[in-house]
Amino acid sequence: MFEAIAFYLFAALTISMFTITVMTQQALYALSAMAAGMIFISAFFFILGADFLGAVQIIVYTGAVMALYAFGMMFFDTTRTVVEKRTNPRFVIVLATLAALLTVLVVIVPIIAVDMPAQLPIDPSAGNSQAVGMVLFTKYLVPFELAAVMLLVAMVAGIVLAGKKMDKSLTLMAEEEIELMQTAQYTPVAHEEVH
Amino acid sequence: MEITLTHYLVLSTILFVIGLIGIMRRKNLLLLFFATEILLNAVNIALAAISHYRGDYTGQMFAFFIIAIAASEVAVGLGLLIVWYKRTGRIDLDQMTSMRG
């Protein structure tokens, strides 16, 4: 009974938050509504018994991703109201058809495949975090390491892309000045004394 | 009143459709990223629900990797977006026509 109440409450909250994110004209409203929606989604993970996933959802999404978006919005003109595009109706029809097909597939596939055996059956004696750790460091060790390398590469890419020439404003410079600055980088530094 | 797997799948589908609507109607690239996050989260709910109702950890593992991919996507995407904004002063999608033949 409580599970049903929690499910319907958080479903309504999540759907309304994400609708605000998609429909609003203000970028700041979209940001805060999406942060709220991410936290409400973690409630579903707690209801489903995936405690560790819920904690990771809160830490990574509302802690890291939202902070990164807020940081990125410092650079952009967020006070301007967002103007929507007028899309090609054919494009909308194709995407809507695709979404409808996907809906049918997503709902039908788990109902059809009833007797699919569990590959990694849930062990009720261990807690969720412990069991997740056991599975992650045995069966999914190689994907885990690959994900770690991917995050490292993404971090380096973020630093290189965003942190490049922070002291110079590329918007206020002419194209020739930017090219001059880029070519000047590759000229060797003359006589640097090293002791 | 039992909450079944179908409830979660329907919820996940509704959220996915909301994300698709966002992708269809947004022009601002930052808000397009927001719609992408909604899509990833909708899939995460479905994976966690299937993991719970099937008694299988595989769904949760895939949800973890989706979260890692979302984090790296945001880092690289925002970096590129900042560079583009510094060069042009706009982040609208229909303005990026520099490769038009």
Residue B6 in tokens:
């179908």
**pLDDT-wise least confident of A85-94, A145-154, B20-29, B64-73:** A85-94
A87: chain B residues, CB-CB within 8 Å: 24-25
A121 strand-pairing partners: B56
Q: Which of A41, A22, A113 is nearest to B46 (CA)?
A: A41
> How many independent structural domains does chain B possess?
1
Return the higher-pLDDT residue of A62 and A78: A62
Give one word for B55, left, alpha or beta, with left for phi > 0 and alpha for psi -120 to 50: left
Mean pLDDT confidence for A47-76: 87
Structural domain of B27: 5-91
CA distance B48 to A140: 17
pLDDT of A36 reads 94
Does residue A65 belong to the interface with chain B, where contact is any CB pair within 8 Å? yes
Does residue B95 belong to the interface with chain A, where contact is any CB pair within 8 Å? no
Q: Is residue B21 a part of any domain in this protein?
A: yes
Supply the CATH number for residue B21's domain. 1.10.287.3510
Q: Is residue B101 a part of any domain in this protein?
A: no
Does residue B13 belong to the interface with chain A, where contact is any CB pair within 8 Å? yes
Mutate to test the interface with B, among A26, A106, A142 (most CBs of B within 10 A): A106
> Among residues 21-50 of chain A, which lie with CB inside 8 Å of chain B?
21-22, 27, 30-31, 34, 37-38, 41, 44-45, 48-50
Distance from CA of B22 to the nearest CA of A (A): 5
Mean pLDDT confidence for A72-98: 73
The pLDDT tens digits of the residues spanning A156-172 come to 988 888 776 666 666 66
B30: chain A residues, CB-CB within 8 Å: 27, 69, 72-73, 76
B92 strand-pairing partners: B28
Q: How confident is the model at residue A189 (pLDDT cuts 50, 70, 90)?
A: very low
| Residue that the structure tokens 């589908």 belong to | B13
Low-confidence ranges of chain B (pLDDT < 50): none
pLDDT of A186 reads 52
Q: How confident is the model at residue A85 (pLDDT cuts 50, 70, 90)?
A: low
* Helix (H) or strand (E) segment spanning residue A73: helix A66-73
Q: Which range in A72-76, A89-93, A111-115, B64-68 is most confidently predicted, on average pLDDT?
A: B64-68
Nearest CA in chain A to B73: A154
CB within 8 Å: B15 and A155: no
Question: First vs last Cα of chain A: how many Å apart?
Answer: 75
Domain layout of chain A by residue ranges: 140-187
Interface TM-score (ipTM) > 0.85: yes
Q: How confident is the model at residue A131 (pLDDT cuts 50, 70, 90)?
A: confident
